[in-house]
Structure 1
Amino acid sequence: MKAGADMEIAGKAVCVFMLLTIIRLRRTEGINRVSAHLGHSTVMTCRNETNITMVTWKTSPKAGRQCTLSYLIDSNKTEKINCSHRINWRSRPDWDHALEIQQVEMADEGNYTCEVVNADGNFHNPYHLTVLATHTHLPPSWYSAVSPRMALYCDDHGNPVCEAETEKPAAEISWVPQSNSTPRADSHSNGTVTVLSRFAARSSDGKNATCIVSHTTLNEAKSIDCSSPHRYLILCIAIVLSFLIIIMFAAVIYCLKLHGYRFCRKTKPPDIVPTYPLQDDTVEVEPYTTYVQKENAIYNSVSDLTLRQNLPQGQSPAT
């Protein structure tokens, strides 16, 4: 029972996935791809329907601003919003619904859609405009002497990088051995496009690679080896030298902190003990000596008198 329910859910999921895929493919197939040379004019037509009530062109360029052109058939009224003077109806919109872009610029590249409204509903006719910059088709005022170039170098991580600058369309870059990286394309205002591809090998040791550039104006192949041992040797030497410099710098700072006070601190002058002349000491001691001698003499006199008084009459004290 459970297995049957799981099978039913899986079948519904597959049906939904297939339906979305079909819708996406139909939308992709419905886009009309047009190209125009830089500086020239291009025209995009709109589908013819009966009993049309309104026609609207909506532009969505990559670099420029969006604009809208509308025509109301019942009131015979046109409306133009945010559109350049170069983008307009090819002729009278009441009988020709085509859109014309004069003097195509790189900023005009992008998506354009014509929407027709009638009693049966809305009908869309999408376009994708690609601007080409081939010098043989450019007028003299638009000419730019940009020659195709190719560059192959090693990045900071030792990975090969291939770069190609050409006129539109963009160049194709491939690697030998095969790389699983996705190229990046950047368009410029002068009509050129730069493609950059970074080699990403399936194995970690795939540093020796060959870049192949394919374009109508440039077909070239170059090889490069980014796994040179000298690169790692120089890197190791730089790391060791940096480590030694850091150690020496730390040692100098430590020595300065340890012995710096001997060089920077001011020395305190020694305490000076006052010295007095010998004569002054004698002068100060002599009065005290004289005073002691006088006291002793008085004491002796008093002692003798006391002794005479205490002796019997007629007896003299012994000396």
Structure 2
Amino acid sequence: ASTNSSLMDRQQSRFILPVEANTCLSEPVDTKAVLSCPPITQKAVLVAVRWEIILRDKPACTRAYRRDTNETRAINCSDETISWDSRPDWNPALQINPVAITHDGYYRCEVVTTHGHFYHGYHLKVLVPPDVTLFQLENGTIVCRAAAGKPAAQISWTPGGDCHTVEEPLGNDTVTVQSSCRWEDHRVSNVSCSVSHLTGNRSLSIELNQGVIVLEFPPSTLLIVLYVKFSLFLVILVIVGFIYFQRIKDCR
């Protein structure tokens, strides 16, 4: 009897799945996300599936399927972008299409089989790529802005300068990061702004505007300059007039 019991224990151990597991999942906004339930072995029979969806500031949503009645039901589920990926009797995975910022939350699949209950949870974090711009202000300051990103982006400069970076949290969990820099070294003619983010990295470059050189003269010197310019203008006017009248005379 003990031999048969140990043999049955070994056979059942082959079909035992992890009781519970959790995964941290990051998905870009406006894409499709598919969340899978724990895998079912060939000899285990699916009895039921239950998804529990917990989003911030919303009541928990439950989507369930029973194999014996082949019925599905939803409780407190008003978001139509969250649904079964296909027929739950074939594949009980859940799909989110498209992913939005409001889908940040916890998603837990409970699978009931003839071998027991098994769980898999997902801590979903939605990523939003920032809108990156690089421009120069009238005072010569170069500004690199990574607007409305989730999470906040990181900004670096090449070459490094006298920089000041600020973050502005927005009301929808996104953050705008702005870095302003100046370069006192007149040999710097081109600078690059590098923006690092979980959705991808970007790099922009800009030519530094050296500005217009303005020479300041004392009043006496300025009068002399104006007098010289006026004298040159009179000389040119006399020469042009002489050539004009000379041609008229030759035509006669």
Where on the TM-score scale, by shorter chain, does this alignment land: which range? 0.3 to 0.5
RCO higher in structure (CA 8 A, sep ≥6): 2
TM-score normalized by structure 1? 0.38
Q: Highest Rg: 1 or 2?
A: 1
Determine which structure has the larger helix proportion and give its number: 1
TM-score normalized by structure 2? 0.47
